[in-house]
Amino acid sequence: QVQLVQSGAEVKKPGASVKVSCKASGYTFTSYAMHWVRQAPGQRLEWMGWINAGNGNSKYSQKFQGRVTISSDPSARTVYMELSSLTSEDTAVYYCARTLRPVVGVVIAGMLNHWGQGTLVTVSS
């Protein structure tokens, strides 16, 4: 069965960077896109971006442009999300989530049916 296992909780100081990993199993890794979604305490879900695990193409929310990098290592079946210049407002649970449908051409589905367990990133001085 499909499993997404994320790396553990992180505590970072303001201005630092964090890199969260998401190891996938149970499906053809390069056939699907992976999205990253975060949720600050008591807040709504917030979409950050996606990566096509097959070719490495990615797209980011403008809000995080320049601060976020999503990458993929097919040999390790792992996707990474790195966020830089952290502030207290980046304190949140970060989720990786796989699309329901495989990538078809350039179409990246947005419905997310498999999620990692979440990684809490705390930014505090």
Partner 1 sequence: DIQMTQSPSSLSASVGDRVTITCRASQSINSYLNWYLQKPGKAPNLLIYDASTLHSGVPSRFSGSGSGTDFTLTISSLQPEDFATYYCQQTYSTPFTFGPGTKVDIK
From the CB of 125, what's the least distance to partner 1, in Å?
26
Distance CA 19, CA 62 (A): 19
* DSSP-derived secondary structure letter, 32: S
Q: Which is nearer to partner 1, 45 or 76 (CB)?
A: 45
Q: Is 110 in the site for partner 1 (CB under 8 A)?
A: yes
For residues 44 and 96, is the Cβ–Cβ distance under 8 A?
no
The DSSP bridge partners found for residue 50 are 35, 59
From the CB of 45, what's the least distance to partner 1, in Å?
4
Site for partner 1 in 65-94 (CB under 8 A): none
Site residues for partner 1 per CB under 8 A: 35, 44-47, 59, 61-63, 95, 97, 100, 109-113, 115-118
